[in-house]
Structure 1
Amino acid sequence: MPDWLAQVPYFLVMSALAAGIVVVAAAYFKRGPAIIACALLLAAAFRLFLPKDWIGMLAVRRRWIDLTTLVGMAVLLIVLAWVAPQLSA
């Protein structure tokens, strides 16, 4: 497999994170964190199911530490999206 192909999962996760940040910047404080949480869960799924040589820069630490961190942050962002007040224009 070419080396650049291992970075595709990382690129997908970073693209989803960027989309979530753009949504937050557009003042959608419930949807943005939810999109970012989905991106983190996508990263956790990649980390769980893909071999180490296929996930590129998503492999930072040991697998269980990466999974715990990613899922924990995703859960916290989902809670944040749930309790954030809905802003009315």
Structure 2
Amino acid sequence: MNQVPYLLVLATMSAGIVVVAAAHFKRGPAIIAGSLLLGAVLRAVLPTERVGMLAVRSRWVDVVTFVTLAVLLIVLAWVAPQL
């Protein structure tokens, strides 16, 4: 039961990777960024015992890392050429 938030983020990220593999280079990173933001929200809101493998470091380091990676992917999706 502790791994449900992790599996939710992992499933959403996998969907984004599938979208990238289908040659949608703007939508895929946006979906992956959304999954990272979901991970940040879950890590910030849920207690450490409930987040499972989303808890790697301290809560705020994890949240800042998730948000930073999500912002970088949103920028990547924004500047990627439309094919």
* TM-score (ref. length: structure 2): 0.99
* Structure label with greater radius of gyration: 1
1:29 is paired with a residue whose SS is coil
Cα distance in structure 2, aligned partners of 1:24 and 1:32: 5
Identity %: 67
Gaps of 5+ in 2: none
Question: Aligned-residue CA RMSD in angstroms?
Answer: 0.4
2:3 is paired with a residue whose SS is helix
2:62 is paired with a residue whose SS is helix
Mapping for residues 1-89 of structure 1, pairs under 5 Å? 5-87=1-83
Gaps of 5+ in 1: none
* TM-score (ref. length: structure 1): 0.92
Structure 1 segments of 4 or more deviating over 3 A? Answer: none
